[in-house]
Chain A
Amino acid sequence: GAVVSQHPSWVICKSGTSVKIECRSLDFQATTMFWYRQFPKQSLMLMATSNEGSKATYEQGVEKDKFLINHASLTLSTLTVTSAHPEDSSFYICSASGGRAEFSEQYFGPGTRLTVT
């Protein structure tokens, strides 16, 4: 199956700093990438959807100026958490899909665990 990687797998940063998370589709071209956040014992919450070459679409309640998403190529999307605070500590997961919009399975990356101290 298709492989999606994320880097880093975990990161600890100080409050007020910015963190960039990379999501790559390794063996297919991802026309759409999704960014999710998952708090302990909760389900995945979609943060934003990004299509290659266009601006990301953010879900209600997600600050686009705080969570910067760039989808510059068909194999790479980045999420930058700006001015991170302890409440941003979470498990961030990206997924990627390609092909026809009617049915496109999402392939998930392994996730990035962010801890803000």
Chain B
Amino acid sequence: GQNIDQPTEMTATEGAIVQINCTYQTSGFNGLFWYQQHAGEAPTFLSYNVLDGLEEKGRFSSFLSRSKGYSYLLLKELQMKDSASYLCAVRPGGYQKVTFGTGTKLQVIP
């Protein structure tokens, strides 16, 4: 089976940096995605990692270590609008289906 773990909730201060961790145990690995989901809305794509290392995209960065089954999403210069759930998703094989973690609800406070 597939197992993806993320912290349930996190709180961080506006302007600060926050790191959201994700660990996974899957039958195979062919990519890890991070999505942002605001309450009542559909997820929006943030990042994709398939090789080890850090991918940076503006205020958001995502890191992957395949040997450790570990990824993190780093959000810099936090803004109030960053308050949302962040979903880690893994694609176990070559097929496009992905498995989502339960998500981390991030609250940004002033």
Chain A residues within CB distance 8 Å of chain B: 1, 32, 34, 42-46, 49, 91, 93, 97, 101-111, 113
Contact A103 B50 (CB under 8 A): yes
Select the stretch in B10-18, B19-27, B38-46 that faces chain A: B38-46
Contact A49 B102 (CB under 8 A): no
Complex CA–CA separation, A79 to B40 (angstroms): 20
- Contacts across chains A and B counted by CB atoms under 8 Å: 53
- Choice from A1, A34, A105, A109 contacting B97 with Cβ under 8 Å: A34
| Cβ–Cβ < 8 Å partners of B44 in chain A | 108
Contact A107 B95 (CB under 8 A): no
Chain B binding surface, main DSSP class: loop
Chain A binding surface, main DSSP class: loop
Chain B residues within CB distance 8 Å of chain A: 30-31, 33, 35, 40-45, 48, 50, 87, 94-103
B31 CB to closest chain A CB (Å) equals 7
Complex CA–CA separation, A115 to B49 (angstroms): 36
- Choice from B45, B50, B101, B103 contacting A106 with Cβ under 8 Å: B45
A106 CB to closest chain B CB (Å) equals 7
- Choice from A32, A34, A102, A105 contacting B94 with Cβ under 8 Å: A102
A96 CB to closest chain B CB (Å) equals 10
Most buried by B among A44, A97, A108: A44
| Cβ–Cβ < 8 Å partners of B98 in chain A | 46, 106
Complex CA–CA separation, A6 to B80 (angstroms): 28
Complex CA–CA separation, A65 to B44 (angstroms): 30
